[in-house]
């Protein structure tokens, strides 16, 4: 049960323990509630009480970083060093309201000046890609930059010149959980989205060290509703332009949120490598989910999942089982050319491959939601596979 929470549509009762049979599984959104049980175990230690008089000011700390808590920045740098997932010493840190806000802040920061004579930058990504790169960029299409579509349109042209491109790379990728590298190469600036580059979701082969990186608290701690993300940026001028964007847009990330995040990061740090390590907890939940889903889908001829292998992780210092945040489902039967619709008929809500500019033969299942959500998903997937009937 989840006392105090809203139940999902398949459960009722005060603690959501009454299960409605044969109900539709909603595996659409990447809501990271798999971490809620961890924070229930640390409810008192992670609680933040803010008195009415506290943090009223526009100014968070000092003159130079007016809107950004110096202490939170210090703790975030410590977290990256301790996890070994990013090189922070030669980077500037820019806070934002979720990493969604960083998408546009960084595109702006890397684009030619609006007064420059150069044509607008073309912003591209390799399919399947996280669709908000497109929707955010299109919202502000204009003088500085515009959405350029998928890299597949440009790889040949860019063999001659990569001038004027900005490439998004997501690693591990949403939706298919693979670790990807940029494809355009040359001089095109790259924004690497490391939302899932934490040991819950992937092995960590080495600390990431790209020039412009995006992180969010939504996926490592699960506090998606606090809306907190940060960029790690090597170049001072690019960092300044990203910071200007956030200042002009919202005058810096919410001070209340920064205060709450400070408490959360401190608990994560204090428990690293102990028996309450949040990454050990998260990895355990996610690998168990992946293993259970695979066990059922491996009996199917109708649907298949992306292949993932155990890999050595520098954080756990051992080979770890795969634990992706999303399953990238392929419908194998000729008649199931719309995989989203095929699964919807089986009462499973997914996110269609078409949304990621991939084939509609694919669709994404979120594995990040609550235990209740995952159990209902397992029920419906098991029904789907059991209903397959072949004449041998
Ligand atoms: N990047 C990727 C790849 C994501 O999957 C998400 C959330 N689903 C985000 C960025 C945005 O996260 P937030 O705005 O909550 O930080």
pLDDT at 371 over 90: yes
What is the number of the ligand 1 atom nearest to the C-alpha of 130? 3
pLDDT at 61 over 80: no
Cβ(264) – ligand 1 distance below 6 Å: no
183 closest CA partner among 171, 170, 169, 194 = 169
The pLDDT, as a whole number, for residue 16 is 81
Helix (H) or strand (E) holding 112: none
Q: Looking at residue 241, which CATH number applies to its domain?
A: 3.40.640.10
pLDDT band at 156 (very low <50, low <70, confident <90, very high): confident
Give the three-class secondary structure for 208: strand
pLDDT at 159 over 80: no
Q: Between 159 and 191, where is the model more confident? A: 191
- Distance from the alpha carbon of residue 99 to the mean position of ligand 1, in angstroms: 6
CA-nearest residue, atom 7 of ligand 1: 30
- Distance from the alpha carbon of residue 88 to the mean position of ligand 1, in angstroms: 21
Residues forming a β-bridge with 147? 123
CA angle 134, 303, 21 (to 5 degrees): 95
The pLDDT, as a whole number, for residue 18 is 85
Cβ(231) – ligand 1 distance below 6 Å: no
Q: For residue 228, is it within any domain? A: yes
Residues forming a β-bridge with 331? 303
The pLDDT, as a whole number, for residue 81 is 98
R_g (Cα) of the chain, nearest Å: 22
Q: For residue 151, is it within any domain? A: yes
Cα(214)–Cα(62) distance, integer angstroms: 25
Cβ(218) – ligand 1 distance below 6 Å: yes
- Distance from the alpha carbon of residue 367 to the mean position of ligand 1, in angstroms: 15
- Distance from the alpha carbon of residue 216 to the mean position of ligand 1, in angstroms: 7
Q: For residue 133, is it within any domain? A: yes
Q: Is the peptide bond before 128 cis (omega within 30 degrees of 0)?
A: yes
192-219 pLDDT tens trace: 999 999 999 999 999 999 999 999 999 9
Task: Name the DSSP class of 86.
Answer: B
Q: For residue 156, is it within any domain? A: yes
Cβ(101) – ligand 1 distance below 6 Å: no
Domain assignment of residue 111, given as a range = 70-271
Cβ(130) – ligand 1 distance below 6 Å: yes
- Distance from the alpha carbon of residue 227 to the mean position of ligand 1, in angstroms: 10
pLDDT at 380 over 70: yes
Evaluated on CA atoms 262, 326, 29, 360, the torsion sign reads positive
What is the number of the ligand 1 atom nearest to the C-alpha of 103? 10
Cβ(99) – ligand 1 distance below 6 Å: yes
For the whole model, what pTM was predicted? 0.95
The Cβ of residue 70 has, within 10 Å, a number of other Cβ atoms equal to 12
Give me the percent of the chain exceeding a pLDDT of 90: 83
pLDDT band at 313 (very low <50, low <70, confident <90, very high): very high
What is the number of the ligand 1 atom nearest to the C-alpha of 196? 3
Q: For residue 149, is it within any domain? A: yes
The pLDDT, as a whole number, for residue 238 is 97
176-199 pLDDT tens trace: 999 999 999 888 999 999 999 999
Substitution candidate for ligand 1 out of 135, 174, 196, 355 with most atoms within 8 A of CB = 174
Q: Between 98 and 156, where is the model more confident? A: 98
237-271 pLDDT tens trace: 999 999 999 999 999 999 999 999 999 999 999 99
Cβ(102) – ligand 1 distance below 6 Å: no
329-338 pLDDT tens trace: 999 999 999 9
351 closest CA partner among 327, 335, 375, 333 = 327
94 closest CA partner among 220, 244, 319 = 244
Cβ(252) – ligand 1 distance below 6 Å: no
The pLDDT, as a whole number, for residue 64 is 64
Query: Residue 366 is encoded by which pair of tokens?
Result: 């979120």
Cβ(221) – ligand 1 distance below 6 Å: no
Query: Residue 54 is encoded by which pair of tokens?
Result: 């506290």
Number of domains in the chain: 1
**What are the DSSP calls for 6-43, one per residue?**
PPPTTEESTTS-EEPTTPPEE--S---GGGHHHHHHTH
Cβ(281) – ligand 1 distance below 6 Å: no
CA-nearest residue, atom 12 of ligand 1: 99
Query: Residue 106 is encoded by which pair of tokens?
Result: 């960084």
Cβ(174) – ligand 1 distance below 6 Å: yes
Query: From start to end of the chain, where are the E strands?
Result: 11-12, 18-19, 25-26, 92-96, 121-125, 145-150, 165-170, 190-193, 212-216, 229-233, 303-304, 311-313, 318-320, 326-331, 348-349, 351-352, 362-366
């Amino acid at each position: 049960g989840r006392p105090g929470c809203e139940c999902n549509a398949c459960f009722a009762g005060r603690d959501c323990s009454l299960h409605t049979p044969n109900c539709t599984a909603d595996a659409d959104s990447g809501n990271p509630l798999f971490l809620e049980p961890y924070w229930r175990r640390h409810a008192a230690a992670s609680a933040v009480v803010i008195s009415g008089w506290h943090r009223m000011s526009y100014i968070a700390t000092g003159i130079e970083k007016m809107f950004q808590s110096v202490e939170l920045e210090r703790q975030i740098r410590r977290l990256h060093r301790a996890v070994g997932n990013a090189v922070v010493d030669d980077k500037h840190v820019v806070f934002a309201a979720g990493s969604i806000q960083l998408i546009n802040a960084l595109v702006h920061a890397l684009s030619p000046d609006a007064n420059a004579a150069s044509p607008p930058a073309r912003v591209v990504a390799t399919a399947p890609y996280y669709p908000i790169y497109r929707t955010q960029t299109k919202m502000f299409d204009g003088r500085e930059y515009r959405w350029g579509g998928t890299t597949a349109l440009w790889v040949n042209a860019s063999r001659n010149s990569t001038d004027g491109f900005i490439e998004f790379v997501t690693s591990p990728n949403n939706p298919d959980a693979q670790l990807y590298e940029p494809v355009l190469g040359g001089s095109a600036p790259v924004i690497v989205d490391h939302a899932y580059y934490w040991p819950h979701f992937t092995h960590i082969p080495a600390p990431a060290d790209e020039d412009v990186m995006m992180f969010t608290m939504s996926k490592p701690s699960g506090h998606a509703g606090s809306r907190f993300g940060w960029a790690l940026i090597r170049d001072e001028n690019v960092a300044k332009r990203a910071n200007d964007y956030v200042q002009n847009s919202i005058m810096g990330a919410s001070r209340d949120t920064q205060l709450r995040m400070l408490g959360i990061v401190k608990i994560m740090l204090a428990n690293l490598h102990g028996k309450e390590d949040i990454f050990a907890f998260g990895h355990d939940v996610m690998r168990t989910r992946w293993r259970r889903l695979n066990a059922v889908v491996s009996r199917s001829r109708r649907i298949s999942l992306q292949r993932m292998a155990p890999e050595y992780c520098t954080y756990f210092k051992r080979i770890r089982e795969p634990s992706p945040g999303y399953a990238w489902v392929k419908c194998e039967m000729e008649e199931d050319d719309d995989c989203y619709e095929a699964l919807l008929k089986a009462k499973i809500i997914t996110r269609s491959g078409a949304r990621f500019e991939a084939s509609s033969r694919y669709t994404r299942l979120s594995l990040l939601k609550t235990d209740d959500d995952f159990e209902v998903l397992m029920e419906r997937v098991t029904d789907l596979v059991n209903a397959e009937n072949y004449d041998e």
